[in-house]
Amino acid sequence: MASKRFKLPADRIREGLVPPMGYCFASDRITVDGAPVGFMYREPPDGAGDSGWRFLAGDESDAYLGNPDNFALYEVNTIANYDPDIIPLVDAEVGNAFERHRKTGGFVAASLPPGSVN
């Protein structure tokens, strides 16, 4: 597997945008391609240190989603650096989902994806 070239270099990641809350899963569409977060949801943590947050651009195909190489674990603060629009929502409880509204660009409540645990 080739190493990933991240859109934001490590020296541009600012600490403290959100309180420490553990890791999340995020799509390479965000961290490598630089797409904004288009869909985010919070499920029960998979283990110690997991915030439960999952971040997607929202345009990933089923094939893309099925390839674990297209995802990685990050501190939630790292994803806040890529897309600060998520910051007001990161304290939402498990079972919440949000998608970016096509017209306003803001986040609105959404349904959890099929197969997610609530």
In tens, the pLDDT along 88-116 reads 999 999 999 999 999 999 999 999 988 78
Assess whether pLDDT exceeds 70 at residue 43: yes
Is residue 5 one of the residues assigned to a domain?
Answer: no
In tens, the pLDDT along 61-76 reads 999 999 999 999 999 9
Is residue 1 one of the residues assigned to a domain?
Answer: no
pLDDT of amino acid 26:
98
**Could you give the C-alpha distances from 45 to 22, 34, 48, 50, 76, in angstroms and in order?**
10, 26, 7, 5, 13
Nearest C-alpha neighbor of 31 from the set 75, 96, 97: 75
Is residue 115 one of the residues assigned to a domain?
Answer: no
Range of the domain at 33: 21-109
Long-range contacts of 55-58 (CB under 8 A, 24+ apart): 55/24, 55/25, 55/26, 55/27, 55/30, 55/79, 55/83, 55/86, 56/26, 56/27, 56/29, 56/30, 57/27, 57/29, 57/30, 57/33, 58/99, 58/100
Is residue 117 one of the residues assigned to a domain?
Answer: no
Is residue 68 one of the residues assigned to a domain?
Answer: yes
Is residue 118 one of the residues assigned to a domain?
Answer: no
Assess whether pLDDT exceeds 60 at residue 1: no
Is residue 8 one of the residues assigned to a domain?
Answer: no
pLDDT of amino acid 116:
81
Contacts for 41 with CB less than 8 Å, ≥ 6 apart: 53, 54, 96, 97, 98, 110, 112, 113, 116
pTM reported for the whole predicted model:
0.94
Q: How many domains does the chain have?
A: 1
Is residue 15 one of the residues assigned to a domain?
Answer: no
